[in-house]
Amino acid sequence: MVEKRPARPQGGSSEAPQDGLVCVGLIGSARGLKGDVRVKSYTANAPEMSAYGPLTDATGERIFEIKVVGKHKDQLVVRITGVDDRMAAEALNGQRLYAARDRLPQTEEDEFYFSDLQGLNAQLTDGTPFGQIVQAEDYGGGPFIEVKSPGHGNVLVPFTKASVPVVDLKAGRVVLDLPDGLLEPGEREPNEG
């Protein structure tokens, strides 16, 4: 779901979901012999992931009816209808789970789904066009946006109020106030030649 900026992940993936779908989880390894799987939830309240109704794949064609049956470390343990053994569960490892956008809670002011940020144009504080957001992600060190910039390649920008002071979904843009040194090349290690 969402939280105050920083935004709540959709989960980074090169697969483009069907319009109207938001990634809410990622199936991990099998747990036990009866078909249960571990799921990394991208929702603010992980156990409520099953409240969004049947989940789907990115195309919306494959449906997953889930029931949360427990928790293992920072992941949910989920039972999926029709997945009755370990082999079937292992075959789902890496499968992203999507919910229909209209089933998710509305965002509040200064809250965003990561999927809302993808594709937005990025400009600098002086109005100079910088690029386009190709993804937003949070791997645990804090959320960031990846901006594809014609002059700089792909640039990772912290998704904080200081670095991204303006998010205007209606206008399809964000304003970037890039931290000092972000675009400067890193120092090479002595053995890198």
Length of the chain: 193
Provide the pLDDT for residue 143: 86
Q: Which domain holds residue 165?
A: 118-176
What's the number of domains the chain is made of?
A: 2
In this structure, are strands 36-41 and 75-80 parallel, antiparallel, or unpaired? antiparallel
- Quick one: 26 and 99 in the same domain? yes
CA dist list (Å): 65 to 51, 54, 81, 149: 10, 5, 6, 40
Is residue 76 within 8 Å of residue 70, measured between CB atoms?
A: yes
pTM of structure: 0.70
**Residue 101's pLDDT band (cuts 50, 70, 90):** confident
Q: Which residue's structure tokens are 């997953």?
A: 64
Q: What DSSP assignment string belongs to 13-26?
A: -SSPPPTTEEEEEE
Residue 170 lies in a domain: yes
Question: Encoding tokens for residue 95?
Answer: 């499968």
The pLDDT tens digits of the residues spanning 11-65 come to: 444 455 677 888 889 999 999 999 999 999 888 777 788 888 899 999 999 999 9
Provide the pLDDT for residue 189: 56
Residue 8 lies in a domain: no
